[in-house]
A and B are shown apart, each in its own frame.
Chain A
Amino acid sequence: MPLHFELVTPEKLVRSAEVYQVVVPGAEGDFGVLEGHAPFMSTIRDGALHIFESATSAPETIAIVGGFAEVNEKGLTVLAESAG
């Protein structure tokens, strides 16, 4: 089952895709989100977001600044002030 992942900045919706796993730089440490993760909310520190398309693929990295991550039943949403 894929994880629905969205990365949103004030200027645009950067990414909306089905992925395997995303590793988010949380304020209190990195955390990985897979499909079916429990509802979770965290602020994030400036850092790199690692996106795994599938269990075996190499991660894609996006640098993000300032923001916030929310996991709910619909998937993972990352709100960042800027990305890329």
Chain B
Amino acid sequence: MASLKELKGRIASVKSTQKITKAKQMVAAAKLRKAQAAAEAARPYGTRLEAVVASLASKITVSPTSPRLLAGTGADQVHLLVVANSDRGLCGAFNSNIVKAAVLKARDLIAAGKTVKFYLIGRKGRPVIARTFPNMIVGQFDTTGAKQVNFAQAQAIATDITVRFEAGEFDVAHLFYSTFKSALAQIPTEKQIIPVAVDPNTPTSSGAAVEYEPDEESILADLLPRNVGNQLFKALLENSASEQGASMTAMDNATRNAGDLINNLTIQYNRSRQAASTAELIEIIAGAEAL
């Protein structure tokens, strides 16, 4: 049985933990709103760019001379897994879910005889991946400097990746991030970013004869790297909303658990206090009776 003093100490420490988790929960709630607003604001650009790329891609026939970002390298041997994580913890299983999805995919690819490389965004995924697949991390992008996801950052990552692609470092790139569904549900998602996977269902602009300046191919060559950047930007925004959502849920649970723990400890504390004073009384009365 823990002594009264020990119990008191534990109650105090759990209380201060609860204060921290509660504060973190409120911060996450505020940041979540901001992240959702940013994702909302980015939507018009994303949908328009995708529509334009899809309509252009459907117009030109893919040939060995067309942009490599669209046609691919013709091989399917080296896969780059781009894993987007957060820089901070205290967000439940958010990071490990993304890493788990990436690791599963990597195992599948390796079993199929492919070569796998990793490119990491954010700090949190690195230890696990470095342990599971040593020497397979070819690049990393540090996002700790920026407070919020911005397009320049996404574009910098996209440039880094496309340069590696042009240099022939890999044939296919997959992006792993978390889709924000609600504060309670974030879904680890995999998306192929290179070569550009054109969704045949994307509504294209009408079949009217469109005039191009300079011409379809050069416009496409200009747009495709932008499209990669846009995809990354969208994923990073989703990811930051997911992170805050996961953090909010995790911290809510932690606050509640701390509350339960405090209740239990308080009951235990009161019981042992009562037991101690009863024992003291019995001793005094017994002593008085003996006289």
Q: Is the interface of B mostly helix, strand, loop or mixed?
A: helix
A68-B219, A68-B222, A77-B48 known; A11 vs B150 contact (CB < 8 Å): yes
**Among B38, B56, B213, B226, which residue has its beta carbon within 8 angstroms of that of A27?**
B213
A64 to chain B, nearest CB (A): 13
Q: How large is the interface on B (under 10, 10 to 19, 20 to 34, 35 or more residues)?
A: 20 to 34
**Contact between A43 and B214 (Cβ–Cβ < 8 Å)?**
yes
B85 interface residue (CB < 8 Å to A):
no
A76–B196 CA distance with the chains assembled, in angstroms: 26
> How many residues from A make CB contacts under 8 Å with B?
25
A39-B211, A42-B212, A68-B222 known; A10 vs B206 contact (CB < 8 Å): no
**Contact between A41 and B214 (Cβ–Cβ < 8 Å)?**
no
A68–B52 CA distance with the chains assembled, in angstroms: 10
B146 interface residue (CB < 8 Å to A):
no
A10-B230, A13-B41 known; A70 vs B52 contact (CB < 8 Å): yes
Chain A 40-84 residues near chain B, CB threshold 8 A: 40-43, 66, 68, 70, 72-73, 77, 79, 81-82
**Contact between B44 and A8 (Cβ–Cβ < 8 Å)?**
yes
**Contact between A10 and B214 (Cβ–Cβ < 8 Å)?**
no
23 A-B pairs within 8 Å (CB atoms) are namely: A6-B44, A8-B45, A10-B46, A10-B154, A10-B233, A27-B214, A28-B213, A39-B205, A39-B208, A39-B211, A40-B211, A40-B212, A41-B211, A41-B213, A41-B219, A42-B219, A43-B214, A66-B226, A68-B222, A73-B208, A77-B48, A79-B48, A79-B49
Task: List the interface of chain A (C-beta within 8 A of B).
Answer: 6, 8-13, 26-28, 38-43, 66, 68, 70, 72-73, 77, 79, 81-82
